[in-house]
Amino acid sequence: MNSPQDPVAPAGPLDSVFERLLACLDAPVSAGSYLLFGGDLAAFRALVERLSAHCLSRDCKLKWLRPVTAETALDAVLRAAVPGDDALSSDGWTAPLWIELGGAADDDAWPERLEQLLCALDGHHDTLAACCARPLIFHLPLPEGAAIDHWAPALWRARSHLALMPCLRDSRALPAQLKALRELAIRLAETGQALQEDEDPEGGATLEALSDAVAVFRLLRDGTAGTQQALRDLAIALHDLGEAQRSVGTLDPALASFRESLSLFRTLRDLPGGSARPVFELTIALGAIGESEREAGRPEAALAAWHEYLDLLEQRRAQGDDSDMLLRDLAIGRTRAGDAQRACGQQAEAVASYSTAHALFAELCGRPDATAQSYRDLALCLNGLGEAQLASGALPLARASFDESLQLGHRLVETGGDAPRALRDLSVALNRLGELDLREGQVDAAVEAFSESVRLRRQIRERLGDSPRVLRDLAVALDRLGDALSDAEDVTSARAAYLECLSLRRLLPPRPDRDAERREAVQSLEARLEDVEAVIEHQGGH
């Protein structure tokens, strides 16, 4: 068995690497794969010496192995990985096996052999995991080791720990090592984004790739002592991870990611020479927090995020920024603040926020370069304004807002074609009017509005298939149509609408942030279905 020679004294930059590694090794279950990237010879020797000394303090020995060929690697690792008497301390602590995958400086063929070694070990990962009771510490050279996600994906996914070794004496090697790791992180992030765009059904593969990207960007942040590039990379990766977590309904992890991202963007803003860019990024993070808090049912927290968002943008506007982008962001912030105020019961404040947003969106629509998005923004704002007016008892004003939103929706469909998003917006406007019609006792008008909404939702389903959002939206429209038909005393049609709605709701996959709400909706629907069936049975008996 080979072993490193002439160890040198450990240096300060190595302390955090050693302490974090030791914390994992001291865990109740420490067997697993530990990946250490890069570093120089001095760091390697120092860490091995320190780890060896710690093992001896526990009355056991560190084992060290350098596989030579792919053909013999698995057998060598398996033979070394099974603990002997010298690997176990009296309290059950197991000494790790250090697997050195760095080649000699003059070995030009080593990068190719490293690929073969990683492929061989990865192909037998299940055997390693089943047979090995030791922690396995893989030391991977950089830049070659940064391709581990490609050559050894199972080993990469099953890792228990990840660390970047410092360069204690040869600082010239550090830039190339950091570049290789950054390329790995970017590759992982792009993989996650591509999976998300392909509508990863469960979201698991997306979350795994984006979490891996965050883990590597953390190494870069720590390894560079927090350069602006490393901070921004990590902040963006955390934001992307948060969006993926939010999309699958895990809102608390999403908020944790968004808040850490926000903290990093604040650090960037406060650095000497900070530019306007971090302020823009701050607003994106605050917007994500506001939306997540709203979805989590915490409107007060959402409102606080939107107030900070608006304060930042108003400062930009006071400095003379009158760009379309800034005005739109301000209007969106006012709209979202109105949503939160409405949920908090602050109807007068909500009307004021929506009205301010309405004026900004109208200004954008009046500019020569107004886009279809400007008109869509205005229509969505009008829906919120109408809801706040309705809650305040101003029914005529609410109807005017809903009517204007509906007219804009028809205009967007006529000018831009029947894209699913335009059809959905039109359906939302029809639902709003249908609700108001029901409230005012105009049952026939409500049936007409909800019937048209259902027709649009069916059209969207034909285009997009049975995604959770499509099914949920169609179920909502059918639910309201059933209520209108029931009020119109067309109980047979109401029963059909309720039954179809119930079948759709039962098709929806579980989602932690909405399961309780869905159970309540199903219970309410079942109760109304029983009512109309009782009426039908009563009518049949006469």
- 366-374 contact pairs (CB < 8 A, 24+): 367/324, 369/324, 372/412, 372/415, 372/416, 374/328
The helix or strand, by DSSP H or E, that contains position 63, with its residue range, turns out to be: strand 63-65
Reduce the DSSP state of residue 32 to 3 states and report it: strand
Q: Give the residue ranges of DSSP H helices in 296-370.
A: 299-318, 324-343, 347-365
Q: Answer whether 139's CB lies under 8 Å from 102's CB.
A: yes
Instruction: Name the token pair of 238.
Output: 């955390």
Cα 529 to chain center, whole Å?
A: 38
| Architecture, CATH, for domain 418-542 | Alpha Horseshoe (1.25)
Sheet containing strand 159-164, edge to edge, reads 63-65, 97-100, 135-140, 32-37, 159-164
List C-alpha distances in Å: 83 to 54, 125, 133, 185.
Answer: 17, 18, 7, 34
Q: What is the longest distance spanned by two Cα atoms in the chain?
A: 101
Pick the CATH number of 1-169 from 3.90.245.10, 3.30.1360.120, 3.40.50.300, 3.20.20.70: 3.40.50.300
**Where would I find the beta strands (DSSP E) of 117-158?**
135-140
Ranges of each domain in the chain: 1-169, 418-542
Bridge partners, 161 (sequence order): 34
List C-alpha distances in Å: 33 to 99, 163, 245, 524.
Answer: 10, 12, 26, 51
CB atoms within 10 A of CB 539: 11
Measure the CA–CA gap between 193 and 207, rounded to whole angstroms: 10
Query: Digits of tens for pLDDT over the chain (542 positions)?
Result: 444 444 444 446 788 899 999 888 888 766 788 999 999 888 999 999 999 999 999 888 888 888 877 777 778 887 777 666 677 777 777 888 898 988 665 667 778 888 888 888 888 888 777 777 778 899 999 998 999 999 999 989 988 899 999 988 888 888 999 999 999 999 999 999 998 877 656 678 899 999 999 999 999 998 888 889 999 999 999 999 999 999 888 999 999 999 999 999 999 988 886 655 778 899 999 999 999 999 999 999 999 999 999 999 999 899 888 889 999 999 999 999 999 999 999 999 999 999 999 999 999 999 888 889 999 999 999 999 999 999 999 999 999 999 999 999 999 998 877 789 999 999 999 999 999 999 999 999 999 999 999 999 999 999 999 888 999 999 999 999 999 999 999 999 999 999 999 999 988 888 776 778 888 888 999 999 999 999 888 887 55
Measure the CA–CA gap between 289 and 476, rounded to whole angstroms: 26
Instruction: Name the token pair of 466.
Output: 């049975």
